[in-house]
Structure 1
Amino acid sequence: MPAYDQTRARVEDYFDRTATKTWERLTSDAPVSRVRETVRAGRDRMRKLMLSRLPEDLRGARVLDAGCGAGPATIELAERGAQVVAVDISPQLIDIARTRLPKSLERQVVFHAGDMFDPELGQFDAIIAMDSLIYYTADDIGVHLAALEKRTSGPIVFTVAPRTPALMVMWYAGKAFPRSDRSPVMIPHAHPTLAKAAKAAGVRATLRPVDRVTSGFYISEAMEVRG
């Protein structure tokens, strides 16, 4: 498996070179294909699920939206009163998120294009990472969860691609394409493997599965680290 830095560079190149327009449209109200409608619906359900793991009233809380994309969760967190640090690897997606943020919420959000794990981002009361860890190995996820846990007083809620037969077929099919033609390939994970990797990396709190969302081609599982 590629090391974290190599995977991160590939993800950054993919989103800024190929996928920005796709994600801009997918995360808007613009018409999309039936397949992408299922993905949009699935992502909406997953975002709602993840945000339900945080308090409704977030006034006074500092929350990291790790891999914020075009910013839909950032807006909802700020509407609940949170001070949000919205980070994405793609500067172009950060520009879209900044443009979409209502002016009434601007004082509550700081945008940052770069590594969502950068320790310079500081301490947090909660972290959400929706579909931003799906390209990384269990060991890499465990190491970064351990580092984030030391900087977070509350829950860390994130998603992975669950290790299902359908996703494994897509995973192996994706590896058959020439490397230059591939999008970053999701790495499916099972909860026991991730929990073992997290514990080995030094995560003290329990890593729990929350729920799974399946909507057409969108299959994602929410998990959380919570004491």
Structure 2
Amino acid sequence: MDGLTYQRRRGEIQTYFDRTAVEAWKRFATEAPLGRIRATVRDGRARMRALMLASLPEDLSGWRVLDAGCGTGAMSIELARRGASVLGIDLAPEIIRFAAETLPDDIGTGRIEFKAGDMLSRTHGEFDAVVAMDSLIHYQMDDAVLALASLARRTRHAIVFTFAPRTPMLAVMHATGRLFPRSDRAPSIVPVRPDAIARDIAQQPELNGWQARRTQRVSHGFYTSQMMEIARP
């Protein structure tokens, strides 16, 4: 996928997470004390991670899984503990270094490979499943669906991803962010309606044969995100 809007957005996200936000994300990955707002985000992300993992088999032995937008590696670690061979991809090299350096001792050698790069690159090979937690929420819906189609070409079973559901609060935050940009602000989240993204997935020719299955929202404090699973029958 080489659309200009995707490329431009990808560049903005890489700059933010590898320069502005890297220390904050390292704190999210530890038990370090956080302020009230960030604490609810950390807890909300943990709930979402558990929800996404529940969409996949408990035993992933023999599966190769892509953790697309892996951040500090929390999802990759849980996938590896289920027996999967995991490739964790993130745009931010500094966050990837942190993920590789902080792997827990119970993760076997070679079980997880972390790389800095584009999650859609064909060079990553094929997978049995893909998880993409909060890694598509900064893209316009058309670009997000095209990204899913790109991943689907190289995925055998399932893609579990999240999007920002359109709620009154998120709509206001999105509008405010666009009206009042600031150099250290995260790239704005793009809220979408669940029925709209499900419709666009169904109408995307390259996702023919894939079906939208389980979807569920996590709303906890300042964290709101919605999971959706698409899978081959």
Alignment TM-score > 0.5, same fold: yes
Alpha-carbon offset, residue 178 of structure 1:
3.1
User: Is 2:220 aligned against 1:222?
Assistant: no
Shift of 1:181: 4.4
Change (3 A) 1:116 1:55: same
- 1:200: how far off? 3.6
User: Contact conserved, 2:20 with 2:184, CA < 8 A, in 1?
Assistant: no
1:134 equivalent to 2:137? Answer yes
Matches within 5 A, 1:14-163: 14-103=16-105, 104-163=107-166
> 1:184-223, aligned counterparts within 5 Å?
184-202=187-205, 203-204=207-208, 205-223=210-228
Letter in 1 for 2:92: S
User: In the alignment, residue 79 of structure 1 is paired with which amino acid?
Assistant: R
Equivalent pairs, count: 226
Per-residue CA distance 1:89-147 (angstroms, 9 max, x = gap): 10011011101213442311111100011111011011100000000111111112112
Q: How far apart are 1:207 and its partner, in Å?
A: 2.5
**Secondary structure at 1:54's aligned position in 2?**
coil
Contact 1:79 1:105 in 2 (8 A): no
Determine if contact 1:7/1:136 at 8 Å carries over to the other structure.
yes
1:30 aligned counterpart, secondary structure:
coil
Question: Following the alignment from structure 1 to structure 2, what is the Cα–Cα distance between the partners of residues 14 and 108?
Answer: 29
- For structure 2, the 5+ residue unaligned runs are none
Cα offset for 1:179? 4.9
The more displaced of 45-54 and 183-192 is 183-192
Shift of 1:58: 0.6
Q: Is the 8 A contact 2:211 2:231 kept in 1?
A: yes
Rounded to whole Å, the distance in 2 between the matches of 1:192 and 1:208 is 12
- Identity of aligned pairs, percent? 48
DSSP 3-state at the match of 1:144: helix
* 1:124-181 Cα shifts (integer Å, max 9, x gaps): 0111000000001111111121121121111100001100111101111111223534
User: Conserved in 2, the CA contact under 8 Å of 1:126 and 1:153?
Assistant: yes
